[in-house]
Amino acid sequence: MRPIQARIDLDAFRHNLHVVRAHAPGSKVMAVVKANSYGHGLLAAAQGLAAAEGFAVLGLEEGVFLRDAGFKQTILMLEGAFCASELPEASAAAISVVVHHDAQIVMLEQAALQKPLDVFVKMNNGMNRLGFRPEHYAAAIRRLSACPNVGQITLMTHFATADEAPGVDEPLARFRQVARGFDYPVSLANSAAIFRHPETHADWIRSGIMLYGASAVAGVPAQAHQLRPAMTLSSEIIAVQDILPGESVGYGNRFTATRDTRVGIVACGYADGYPRHAPNGTPVIVADHMTQTIGRVSMDMLFVDLTDISAACVGSPVELWGSRLPVDAVAEKAGTIGYELLCALSPRVPVRVLG
């Protein structure tokens, strides 16, 4: 068996949830577990986050899976129903839906349901992705409040720049103005807003990447908020090559040695989810020493520099990211974000759940 594996630490989830609560002490936590819980495994993440008041998923199948697994919390479909035929099953499983356009209101008005559905009405607040424009938002709320198939209504929006300098002042003021006069619960804050904008905490917070122990704000490491990574991706050295100055490694000769160089070949490649575009110098830990990748990442293997790690040999442990090497450090060097690396973990990588 190849030595690569991902370890998922349930205690890290519990710890990170505690950190979230400490930052937003009066808000209920909606744990975002879409995309197979950012690559961590839906069931494992839900078990680690079982104390959260709610789970946010992408589609109906994920929500029904959590209900069938025994989770009683609020479960919210973040993009709502994709077709009218999903509404009866969502109603039967007591799964809440986001409503973000008129066609979804029509679906609800025309549906035959066992019981009313709780809805989160989304306002488009500048991201121009999903949601009713501010000038149409109040009318959408009133229409939903008159629909017999609608139960509890919660008002929500999403901030495009909660993690950047523009912040949330303008969209928050716009939301408050439009929502004034409606006495419904409110959900505003994503992970970045939870840390940076306490004025957005409201009734529900939607916590995503921070629960997995990665950063929601570029340049601010997760450790700055005492977050712990829930995933560690590890492997081993499976071969060692000694090359001379002027010799190269890998496809395209992207690394050429300028000195006698010991090259470690690691059982991990882009088919496992490691980014092919990771450049020379991407950090990696081998035998408890920090070193770097060299050469182009292959489908099943990558290269690391062992020249200054005399103890490294075939079988030496390698951490690609995780408990000692933040995924955000790897992502930054590779020109992407930690979210993408975690979500890209391949199904062929064995996963071991701890705790």
C-alpha dihedral (129, 133, 139, 142), degrees to nearest 10: 40
CA–CA distances in Å: residue 331 to residues 84, 214, 215, 267: 39, 11, 11, 19
- Strand spans (E) along the chain: 5-9, 28-32, 54-57, 74-77, 96-99, 117-123, 150-157, 186-189, 204-207, 231-243, 248-249, 255-256, 261-266, 283-286, 289-294, 302-305, 317-321, 351-354
The answer to whether 232 touches 5, Cβ cutoff 8 Å, is no
Q: Who's near 64: CB < 8 A, 6+ residues apart? A: 89, 93, 95
- Is 28 annotated as catalytic? no
The span from the CA of 279 to the CA of 273, in Å, is: 15
The span from the CA of 209 to the CA of 39, in Å, is: 11
What are φ and ψ of residue 24, in 5° steps? -135, 65
The span from the CA of 272 to the CA of 4, in Å, is: 9
Point out the catalytic residue in the list 72, 251, 270, 339. Answer: 251
Point out the catalytic residue in the list 28, 34, 333, 339. Answer: 34
- Is 72 annotated as catalytic? no
Q: Tell which phi-psi region holds residue 126, choosing left (phi > 0), alpha (psi between -120 and 50) or beta.
A: left
The answer to whether 143 touches 175, Cβ cutoff 8 Å, is no
Catalytic residue positions, numbered = 34, 251
